[in-house]
Structure 1
């Protein structure tokens, strides 16, 4: 497993969800894995361990180990209190980015909904038709 990579079971589930979307593809990120539509990142999964990466550890409020995935939300929802309570966290680097911790209690239906919406926010309009 490369640095920042989440456990295989979570990665497999995320792959199934993300790669089912039209023209979506996967690539290695600076840490972990990200899913793209065109040149735009709609999901990024990584493992926080020993406080690394520090920006994610601060945002998630945990030095780890903790598997997380970030995704896009509509700008109007970015500051919602919903996304400021566990299992969610609100990174500060973009106003439309939200994260969720992945664990044994993860609601995979909710994750699927978030990833699909994130994809739809970034996908070319012609592809969505």
Structure 2
């Protein structure tokens, strides 16, 4: 079976999140579409040989384990201890994906760029409840 292309509308939605972040850019990938910051991969959307479209992105290792335990549509990528994936379909929660991609960017970006991204206060940070 051949790999499906990532639907253009989905690429636009992902690009709207990632390409709005400082110095995050779309780059050529061997399959699908990839985004990087400072030559580090942030996310990669691609069609699989099984006909499903997926996106992989970076996350904290403990978050990767949590996503793995959640199960579908999440999965742990077969490479890297900080890579999680999500099967994209008509039921994808695009707001949640935007948050996950922003988190992935902040993990991969140099600190000088990551600090430019507005982030919600972390629990226990003394911010408003």
Relative to the length of structure 1, the TM-score reads 0.81
Note the residue ranges of structure 2 that are not aligned, 5 or more in a row: 116-129
Match of 2:65 among 60, 72, 79: 79
Q: Given that residues 69 and 99 in structure 1 are in contact (C-alpha distance below 8 angstroms), is that contact kept between their aligned partners in structure 2?
A: yes
The CA RMSD measured in Å over matched residues stands at 1.3
Q: How many angstroms does 1:92 deviate by?
A: 2.1
Q: Distance in 2 between matches of 1:18 and 1:108?
A: 13
- The C-alpha deviation readout for 1:10-56, integer Å capped at 9, x for no partner, is 111111111011110001201111000011000000011xxx3xxxx
Q: Give 1:1-129 correspondences, 5 Å limit.
A: 5-48=5-48, 52=49, 63=50, 65-80=51-66, 82-84=67-69, 85-129=71-115
Does structure 2 conserve the Cα–Cα contact (< 8 Å) formed by 1:26 and 1:34?
yes
Separation in structure 2 between the aligned mates of residue 67 and residue 92 of structure 1, nearest angstrom: 16
Q: Whose Rg is larger?
A: 2
* Equivalence for 2:118: none
> What's the offset of the Cα at 1:4?
5.4
CA distance in 2, matches of 1:4, 1:104: 15
Q: Is the CA contact 2:44–2:55 (under 8 Å) kept in the aligned structure 1?
A: yes
Please identify runs of 4+ aligned residues in structure 1 that moved more than 2 A. none
SS at match of 2:105: helix
| Aligned residue-pair number | 112
